[in-house]
Structure 1
Amino acid sequence: MKRIWDISPPVAAGSPVFPGDTPYSQEWSATLGPGCPVNVSRITMSPHVGAHADAPLHYDPDGAPIGEVDLTAYLGPCRVIHAIAQGPLIEWRHLEHAARDLPARVLVRTYERMPHDRWDPQLAAYAPETIEKLASLGVRLVGIDTASIDPAESKALSSHQVIRRLGLRVLENLVLDEVPEGDYELIALPLKLMTADASPVRAVLREP
C-alpha cells in the first residue's frame, strides 16, 4: 500500500475563518431514539472553511462556480516545496531550489506548524510574480498552507487576479506540517456545488 498524507485540517466549531465569514456550526435535526432510527445533522459554514478549492466565481463576477470547474487540476502529480517562515510574500527565490521539472501542481509549505485552531492575520501569501513564474513553467494549480494566496488585508487580491487571468486553480488551508519536500500524487476533489464560490475538499497526498 502506498503511504497517504492527509493534508486537510479538522473542521469543527471553532475552526478559524476569515474575519466576517461564516464559521462552521452544526445542529441536529433528528436524533436516535424511540421512533427515530438515525442521527441527521444540519451544517452551516462558508465553503472557505478548512481545506478548500476556490472557484473562479470567487474572484471574477463572470467566473464559473465550483460545480462547473473541470476536475483535472485537482488530481495528479504534485510537488511540495518548503518556504517556511520566509516572510509575508513567497517570492520565486524561495522556491527555485526545488523548481526543476515541475509537475502541473505545486503546494507551498510556509508554516512550521499550521495554526488550524486560530486565525492568523499575518498569514504568508504568494507574490503575484511567483504565480506568473510558476504558470510559465506549466503549473496549473497552486496551493498553500495558509487561508489565502493573497495577504489577509489585501483588497486588490493581486495573486487571485493572476489566477483568474491565467486560468489556474487554487487550494488553500492545507496542512503540510508532516510532508517532506518532494513529489506526490495530489487528490483534492471539490464537491459539485453548482452555484458556489468555493468547495471544501478532503485533500490527500499519496506516494507516487
Structure 2
Amino acid sequence: MKSSEWIDITQPLSDRIAHWPGDEPFSYRLTFSKEQTGSVNIGQISASCHTGTHIDAPFHYNNQGKRVLDIPVDTYIGPAKVIDVSHTEKIDANILSKNQLDGVKRLLLHSSLPNIPERFPEKMPLLDPDIGPFLKERGVELLGVDMPSVDPIESKELPVHHALHDNNIYILENIMLDHIVPGEYELIALPLALEEADGSPVRAVLRCL
C-alpha cells in the first residue's frame, strides 16, 4: 500500500446502521427533490451524536465536562498507533504493556469484535479501568476502539469513560480496523463543530507513515 493512500475506517451512515438500544436511529430523507425545487436535491438527517463512528466529549458522562467544541482540534489529527488485542476478551494494562507505547499520543485498538455496522453487538470485549493511568504514563491523549463504547453495554457507572477522563484521554468509538495492519499511521478523525454537543460523528481515516 502506498503511504499516500488514505484508508477509511468509518462506519458508513445509512438507515441500516445499528444504533444504541433505545437511542435515536439514523435517518436520511430527501426533503425536497430537484423536480420540486427546479434546481437541487436537499436532504435531511436525524441521528444520535453517538451513532456509527464518533467521538465522546466529556460532557457525555460528566455534567461539568467539555463539550465537543471545547476539545482541541489537534486531538484528532496526527500520528497514531494501531495495535491488535483481538486475542483477548479483557483488555487491561498488562495486555497493553506488551506493546511499545511510549510517546504514542493516539492509540487505536483492534479488538475481537467483528466490524458489522448493521448489527449492534450483544457482547463486547471488556476494557479495564486500569488502562487510564497506564496510558497517561505513556503520553496517550486519544484512545480509539472498534466497539460502540469503551464500557459494557449494560454499565451505568461507566468506569472506563471516567478512568480515561481522569487521565486526560479522549475517546473515539466504532472505528473499523478489521482491514488495518497493526503499525504506525497518520490519523484524521475530525468531529463536527457542534458547540454544545456531548459527542459527534466523525469521518475517520488513516494513512501509513
| TM-score bucket of the superposed structures, by smaller chain | over 0.9
Aligned residues: 207
Q: Distance in 1 between matches of 2:135 and 2:28?
A: 39
Would you say the 8 A contact 2:80–2:105 is kept in 1?
A: yes
Structure 1 position 35, deviation (Å): 4.5
Q: Which stretch has the larger CA shift, 50-59 or 129-138?
A: 129-138
Unaligned segments of structure 2, at least 5 residues: none
Q: Which stretch has the larger CA shift, 102-111 or 172-181?
A: 102-111
1:203 corresponding residue in structure 2: 204
Structure 1 position 91, deviation (Å): 1.5
2:133 corresponding residue in structure 1: 132
2:165 corresponding residue in structure 1: 164
2:111 corresponding residue in structure 1: 110
SS in 2 for 1:98: coil
Q: Distance in 2 between matches of 1:84 and 1:197?
A: 29
2:174 corresponding residue in structure 1: 173
Q: Distance in 2 between matches of 1:34 and 1:137?
A: 57
Q: Distance in 1 between matches of 2:97 and 2:73?
A: 27
- Amino-acid identity (%): 35
Would you say the 8 A contact 2:102–2:139 is kept in 1?
A: no
Deviation >6 Å, runs of 4+: none
Map 1:14-163 to 2 at 5 A: 14-33=16-35, 35-87=37-89, 89-111=90-112, 113-163=114-164
* TM-score, normalising length: structure 1: 0.94
* TM-score, normalising length: structure 2: 0.93
Aligned CA-pair RMSD: 1.5
Q: Distance in 1 between matches of 2:36 and 2:182?
A: 53
Structure 1 position 121, deviation (Å): 2.1
Q: Distance in 1 between matches of 2:152 and 2:176?
A: 18
Would you say the 8 A contact 1:14–1:23 is kept in 2?
A: no
Task: Rate the CA distance shift 1:100–1:160 in 2: closer, same or farther, 3 A.
Answer: closer
Structure 1 position 42, deviation (Å): 1.0
Q: Distance in 2 between matches of 1:125 and 1:80?
A: 18
